Structure 1
Amino acid sequence: MSDSEKPKFKRELTFTTITQIPKVESTCKDACCTEKTAPLQNDSACNDSCCTTSSDTANSIPSQNPISPASKTYQIEGMDCSSCALTIENHLKKIPSVKSVNVNFSSGKAHIEHENEAEEITKEVSKIGFKATLLTGRTIKVDIPKDTSNQNLLIFSGVMLLAAYVGSYTTMPTFMVTILYALSVIVGGYKPAKSAFYAVKSGTLDMNVLMTVAVIGAAAIGEWLESATVVWLFALGNLLQSSSIEKTRSSIRDLMDLAPPEAWLHHGTNLIRKPVEEVHIGEVIVVKPGERIPLDGMITQGESSVNQAPITGESIPVDKQVGDIVFAGTINEHGSLEIKVTTLITDSAISKIIHLVEEAQEKKAPTQAFIDKFARIYTPIVFCLALLIMVIPPIVGFGSWGEWFYKGLELLVVACPCALVISTPVAIVSAIGNAAKNGILIKGGAYLEIAGTINTIAFDKTGTMTEGKPKVSHVFASKEVLAIVRTLEEYSNHPIAKSIVQYATENGIESLHGENFRNIVGKGIQATIGDIEYFAGNAKLFLELNVPLHNFEEQIESLQKDGNTIVIVGTKHELIGIIAIADTIRKSTVSTLESLKQIGIQQVIMLTGDNVGSAKKVASQTGVTRYFAELLPEDKVEVISQLQTEGFKVAMVGDGINDAPALATANIGIAMGGAGTDTAMETADIILMADNLEKLPHTIKLSRSALLIIKQNIWFSLIIKFLAITLIFPGFLTLWIAVLSDTGAALIVILNSMRLIKYKS
């Protein structure tokens, strides 16, 4: 999303080391924010979790591949260029029973809305040289029988070509040599010629058309060796390209193999094995030491360390005990576990990851969209230019017809834009697959490209840079006041509220009867207990109520300097107590921020709703470049906007829920802790599945590497084309070398892109 499309804010901010933003009135009218314009809570002492929104609508790039709810999805085999996808689309659109069709080259899938039988669709696709397989439901991995017909035809065509070539140097009659060459051409060129026929019929000029014209033209002027060689090299190149691209497309789906196909369940006193598809929610499965966990669930008995690398990318196993959530595909390191199933296999975390990644692979990046448009214009122009080269020079007496006809054929072959067209999508699919295997979900090529340009990263503090599990550190309140605070805070899901409720529970403090609860966004909470209105929140709240702080001013100032967050309790007339809350910095935060600086991130910024003292302490311990304290959610949006006006490309890192406005405003929104959190998966543009920042530097470096490889591919493709074209007119280029340069360039581009699959930072 370009900066011009981002929200604009009129209010100017002056940045200093410590920033206090003027207050903004909340639009919340009730304890649960029902208005769509209500800002989100974050870092305030008390707020309600229902005050949320999603950046999905505000910060998503519309998919270029809208899928109708009634459409069916087909896996397409054999596409090695985006023009193949266009040919399939144009062909199917001419069938009356097909209402809509969208074929995506990157994912190798077609979304088709049709009224006829699926078998008719697969037959139509096979007519133009491709294979379609219907996918039912949310198919994670489909086993498609390997088609060896192309290999067999390639081998037979090669044998005929070799026999003819050897025969031409023996006493074999000339007509027999020609027949062998012709057989080689027919066998190897039948499928491309058939695809070319339907491409022309559907109004598309793809590489099959260009190559078929070149082969027929070479045969027409008696260049049978060149004609057969062109066919064989073209078929070989197609086979290698298809194989490589299919490997790239299916690499992420191989994750599904990590989840075992069967699970152990109790049956009386015995254990029985049952296919995971037949296990229902609520059933209890048994996972022995060393086994992979077959389904998502909650541990009901036992404890162990679980290797969660397939889901979160974490290299160190995580200790699990009763009540903890575990994911399908992860490994139970030691200790037997009994797990209550919470999701079906098709809705497991690993299935969602694969589903989201495949959707992401279908979203075209800006570079890819531009090159596709360029190729659609470029190919017909080149075709017309080749015809002019064949005709104009001999008409004006500059050379013979045969000479210029041959040069025109060479131009047709050299000008195939295949390498250029696949330079971007294969790189993006490879990078997105690599990210997913490392516990990073990138929701599309556009976001991958943007992430590669980021030079500033803003972090939410609580729950992102810190553990997000604050604990009560100091209490200046009686048991009666603690009972009032517990009553107020029980209606909030904010981490600070939870810590107070936990402290009160551990100390045997019972809650009271309260009513008329109201959430005051960014400031605190209010309720009536007995006949008195009580408030719990930050200093802003009580300053607005005109309640003096002097009774507790010294304690508040001292505690804030030590990095504590203060929750003040009182009425409209007086303060009755204060509670100090402290959070701990994540172990990974300091090393992550240092890594980001080393890779060239210019600004590392912390945003928080906490007080200045708490922000200053965390900033000094983590080494952030700048920090901004006492921010309401809308203030964070303004900070991000101001950074963008300063010329920075900004990524915002938050929890994916409370920071949604800031995530939406930033050039790229990054949510962490996506594993097991559906909301986080739906929110930001990039999701770090693990609940820590360790994978953030890898995300930035991978994105930059993808951008570099895309540029390498584009320049390499253009340079090869330019060199080959310049060699045509002096007569240094032959038709078969032209084919070799085209298919060779495409293969090199694919192999260069596939380096991203194994990329490690």
Structure 2
Amino acid sequence: MASNAHIYRLQGLSCMNCAAKFEKNIRSINTVEDVQVNFGASKLKINGEATIEQLEKAGAFDGIKVLPDRQQQPEKKEPFWKKRENILTMISLLFIIVGYLFYFQLGAKAPFTIGTFALAILIGGYDLFKVGFKNLAKLEFDMKTLMTIAVIGAAIIGEWGEGAIVVFLFALSEALESYSINKARQSISSLINIAPNKATIKHGNVNEEVNVEDVRINDIMVIKPGEKAAMDGEVVKGESSLNQAAITGESIPVHKTFGDEVFAGTINQEGYLEVRVTKRVEDTTIAKIIHLVEEAQAERAPSQQFVDKFAKYYTPAIMIIALLVAILPPLIASASWSEWVYLGLAVLVVGCPCALVISTPVAIVTAIGNAARNGILIKGGIHLEETGRLNVIAFDKTGTLTEGKPEVTDIVPVGSFTESEILSISRSIEAYSQHPLASAIIQKAKREKAKEMEAENFQSITGKGAKAVISGEEFFIGNPALFEEISKLPVEIKQQIDELQAAGKTVMVLGTNSDIYGLIAVADKIRNSSFSIMKQLLQLGIKKTVMLTGDNKTTAVAIGKELGISETRADLLPEDKLDTIKELQASHGNVAMVGDGVNDAPALATSSVGIAMGGAGTDTALETADIALMADDLEKLPYTISLSRKALHIIKQNIGFALGVKIIALLLVIPGWLTLWLAIIADVGATLLVVLNSMRLMNGKEKNKKDISEHVSQQSI
């Protein structure tokens, strides 16, 4: 972030068009170099300098309040019916009812009738006209401009009652749209308020409450039972169970003891903990989640880009059509001017693009917020849509389909070497390696108290193993393929290797250029949930599941068969996994790669959607993946697919609703059946349908589990 960049929180930002206008107004401030308004997160970023007074002046047309990013938002929770604009709308409705009583008693042209409807228009349309007239003066044509023209036109031709109805229903539509957006934003505001603003820091024997901004790395934070952790850190004293639902979406408490990681926003349920702070407040896991979710909501999905481009030409086109409807029939066919001007105004109202403009962003903001509450970080609308279109999912094996904690199961000495000697030499080489299999050997050696020897000239052999010099002799440890390159493996050793691999074990060979000294078999336990997850994915319409692993083919096929994986590809180097993803994309279209976000980074980056597991505490996963499952648990994958498919389906429905209702209403112009009543009801109706349809995405995890069966019939989405 540039040094002259400033972040602000916004209150009162009511609509997409308002956000665009606000951004335009700020851009006109001379000292501002660049500006970005994030409508979904109600957030503002500017490069350059501007005072809060200048920013609020730029947003005065919408009553926007500007607050510094880290300032707590003391926004009043006003009931829907107590908001000023909604009170004016209800008063307007009251005058409309009275106006129609006069209409039926005294007639349409009676002064009392016209006066009452005029009051309804002025009271209910005050905010509308305030913006609409300013836009007209600047020749800016948005929804409020169109409505202002329509209401003025209705009054001019004597349709006071219908003008009042247009004002009331438009105000009602705006109120409901604002309500729905605020509901969708609650997922972000709830995240922001998860971590406390103050932390209890221990200084010697004294505990002091300080602002989180003043906490420093290595400070000792005290967390008592029932309190929330204010910062990320590492337990240095005590043990307890912490509820990590705010981060991972999992409500089952996780036991923490010395050396374990603690996340800001998690709740200490039982014991007393002292935690060494490891990250500043802006770098905590919850801070990164909030930032990434907000950035995700700002990113325009493909469907939203289409709608934005379409709306750019749609509004001027509607105005031209309305003008032609109003003037051509009277000019060409000597038709009634009042009748066709009325129809032109109705076209103007029905053409208002409210529903179309809001059709995609409300759905995306709601879905991404829902996912964040359930421990799934979707980093943009584009990734949400791509996930909804997935055909194939490829999985890394170790740590994804398996527990990722391999254990040594067999040590087979060859020749005069003992098990202890094999462990000692293997441990000495693997001490320099980061591979999970190396960890398994080291743990086994420690348990067996095998001697550790000094290794020199360690060298990793990518995808195959490693070598080092011990006591003057060069030793190799790695997969059988490595030793086939060095010196052919004897037939009897090959048979032993085949037997171990057939049992689903990974075999490593220890030896030199000329001799084999032993075999070490390692097994990684399959996750209990992996089988049911594969089944759920197929039910959701995923056509193919593929396991990619550097493990040998025999072991990989045994595991793949047990899990019901469609295809297994083994003996793969990192570049082979990348090539496999490209090949799958060429033959199947959208392909996701699921891994741990650290290994297989090229494959994750190349896939249509890169999904990383265990995002909590893994910065690499948060940074590199398109989607991060915050818990180290694949069970959230079917939910992610289900939510994405549902979001994509709802976006398509919304665009269909928005355009379909408009087209039907516009066709009513031909027989002359379109009235201002029908026009505004069509516009408000489409907006309500879009908003209510999008709100379905707010449903929690349990509801979406039921949606799996619903999506079986939507595989083509």
Both structures adopt the same fold (TM-score exceeding 0.5): yes
Distance between the aligned counterparts of 1:86 and 1:433, measured in 2? Answer: 22
The residue type equivalent to 2:40 in the other structure is: S
Q: Is the 1:654–1:671 Cα contact (8 Å) retained in structure 2?
A: yes
Higher-RCO chain (CA-CA 8 Å, sequence separation at least 6): 1
* Correspondence 1:486 to 2:427: yes
Mapped to 2, the partners of 1:236 and 1:563 lie a distance apart of: 64
Larger helix proportion, structure 1 or 2? 2
Distance 2:132 2:106 in 1: 37
Task: Quickly say closer, same or farther: Cα 1:384–1:130, change in 2 above 3 A.
Answer: farther
Deviation at 1:68, TM superposition (A): 6.2
Measure how far apart 1:674 and its partner are: 0.6
**Residues 129 and 192, structure 1, Cα contact 8 Å, conserved in 2:** no
1:136 corresponds to 2:77: no
Q: CA deviation at 1:234?
A: 1.3
Q: State the partner residue of 1:380.
A: 316
Equivalent in 559, 574, 596 of residue 633 of structure 1: 574
Judge conservation of contact 1:457–1:604 (CA < 8 Å) in 2: yes
Describe how 1:243-642 pairs up with structure 2 within 5 A: 243-266=179-202, 273-475=209-411, 476=413, 477-478=417-418, 479-546=420-487, 548-550=489-491, 552-642=493-583
Q: Does the CA contact (< 8 Å) of 1:167 and 1:177 recur in 2?
A: yes
1:549 to partner: Cα distance: 4.5
Matching residue within 69, 75, 86 for 2:20? 86
Tell me if the contact between 2:581 and 2:606 (Cα under 8 Å) persists in the aligned partners: yes
Paired residue for 1:108?
Answer: 42
Partner of residue 88, structure 2? 153
Query: Which position in structure 1 is the counterpart of 2:147?
Result: 211
Give, in whole Å, the separation in 2 of the partners of 1:328 and 1:642.
42
* Equivalent pair of 2:55/2:66 in contact (CA under 8 Å): no
Secondary structure of the corresponding residue to residue 193 of structure 2: helix
Q: Deviations over 1:375-420 (max 9, x none)?
A: 1101001111111221121112342111111111100000011112
Structure 2 gap segments, 5+ residues each: 706-717
SS in 1 for 2:47: strand
Q: By how many angstroms is 1:668 displaced?
A: 1.3
1:654 aligns with 2:595: yes
Report Cα offsets for 1:603-641 as digits up to 9, x if no partner.
122111111232122123222122111111111122222
Residue in 2 that maps onto 1:757: 698
**Contact 2:9–2:69 at 8 Å: present in 1 too?**
no
How many Å apart are 1:526 and its aligned residue? 2.2
Aligned to 1:691: 632
The answer (yes or no) to whether the contact 1:91–1:202 under 8 Å persists in 2 is no
Query: What does residue 724 of structure 1 align with?
Result: 665
Q: Tell me the secondary structure at the aligned position of residue 177 of structure 2.
A: helix
Q: Which consecutive unaligned segments of at least 5 residues does structure 1 have?
A: 1-66
- Sort the Cα spacing of 1:528 and 1:634 in 2 relative to 1 into closer, same or farther, 3 A: same
Offset, 1:367:
0.7
Q: Determine if the alignment matches structure 1 residue 184 to structure 2 residue 117.
A: no
- The alpha-carbon deviation at position 119 of structure 1 amounts to 1.4
- Relative to structure 1, the CA distance from residue 253 to residue 502 in structure 2 (aligned partners, 3 Å threshold; closer, same or farther) is same
Return the offset for 1:565: 1.4
Greater displacement, 155-164 / 201-210: 155-164
Aligned pair in 2 of structure 1 residues 272, 117: CA closer, same or farther (>3 Å)? closer
Contact 2:477 2:511 survives alignment (8 Å) = yes
Q: Secondary structure at the match of 2:571?
A: coil
The answer to whether the Cα contact below 8 Å between 1:407 and 1:729 also exists between their aligned partners in 2 is no
Compute the TM-score of the two structures, normalised by the length of structure 2. Answer: 0.90
Q: 1:606 to 1:382 in 2, by over 3 A?
A: same
Query: Which is further off, 633-642 or 705-714?
Result: 633-642
Contact residue 393 and residue 399 of structure 1 kept, 8 A: yes
Check if 1:740 corresponds to 2:681.
Answer: yes
8 Å contact from structure 2 (residues 394, 591) kept in 1 = yes
The alpha carbon displacement at 1:649 in A equals 2.8
Shift of 1:163: 4.6
| Greater CA drift, 366-375 or 535-544 | 535-544
Deviation, structure 1 residue 679: 0.6
Contact 1:547–1:572 (8 Å) recurs in 2: no
TM-aligned CA deviation for residue 720 of structure 1: 1.4
1:29 aligns to what?
Answer: none
Give the match for residue 240 of structure 1. Answer: 176
Kept in 1, the 8 Å contact 2:96–2:120? The answer is yes
Q: Partners in 1 of 2:121 and 2:47 — Cα distance?
A: 37
- How many percent of aligned residue pairs carry the same amino acid? 49
Is contact 2:240–2:269 with CA below 8 Å preserved after alignment?
Answer: yes
Structure 1: how far apart are the matches of 2:246 and 2:69? 25
Q: Identify the match of residue 98 of structure 1 among 23, 26, 32.
A: 32
User: What amino acid maps onto 2:624 in structure 1?
Assistant: T
8 Å CA contact retained: 2:13, 2:64: no
8 Å contact 2:424–2:451 — kept in the other structure? Answer: yes
- Alpha-carbon distance in 1 for matches of 2:202, 2:634: 39
What CA distance in whole angstroms lies between the structure 2 residues aligned with 1:153 and 1:75?
27
1:220 counterpart (130, 142, 156): 156
Tell whether the 8 Å contact from 1:90 to 1:202 is kept in structure 2 after alignment. no
CA deviation after TM superposition for structure 1 residue 194, in Å: 3.0
Q: C-alpha distance in 2, partners of 1:170/1:705?
A: 52
Change (3 A) 1:631 1:588: same
Letter in 2 for 1:83: N
* Larger displacement relative to structure 2 (300-309 or 165-174): 165-174
* Contact kept in structure 2, 1:122 and 1:133, CA below 8 Å: yes
1:528 is paired with a residue of what secondary structure? strand
Deviation at 1:311, TM superposition (A): 1.4
1:8-87 aligned within 5 A: 70-77=4-11, 79=13, 81-87=15-21
Describe the shift of the 1:688–1:728 C-alpha distance in structure 2 as closer, same or farther (beyond 3 A): same
The one-letter amino acid paired with 1:131 is: I
CA contact (8 A) 1:87 1:199 kept: no
Deviations 1:194-238 (A, max 9, x none): 323454566642101100110111122222222222222212211
Give the C-alpha shift of residue 676 in structure 1: 0.6
* Greater alpha carbon shift after TM alignment, 284-293 vs 603-612: 284-293
Of 46, 55, 58, 1:121 maps to 55
Conservation of the 8 A alpha-carbon contact between 2:657 and 2:689: no
Offset at 1:514? Answer: 3.0
Moved more, 442-451 or 497-506: 497-506
Residues 83 and 206, structure 1, Cα contact 8 Å, conserved in 2: yes
Deviation of 1:462 after TM superposition, in Å, equals: 0.6
Indicate how the Cα distance of structure 1 residues 269 and 660 shifts in structure 2: closer, same or farther if over 3 A, else same.
closer
In structure 1, the residue corresponding to 2:432 is in which secondary structure? coil
Deviation of 1:516 after TM superposition, in Å, equals: 2.6
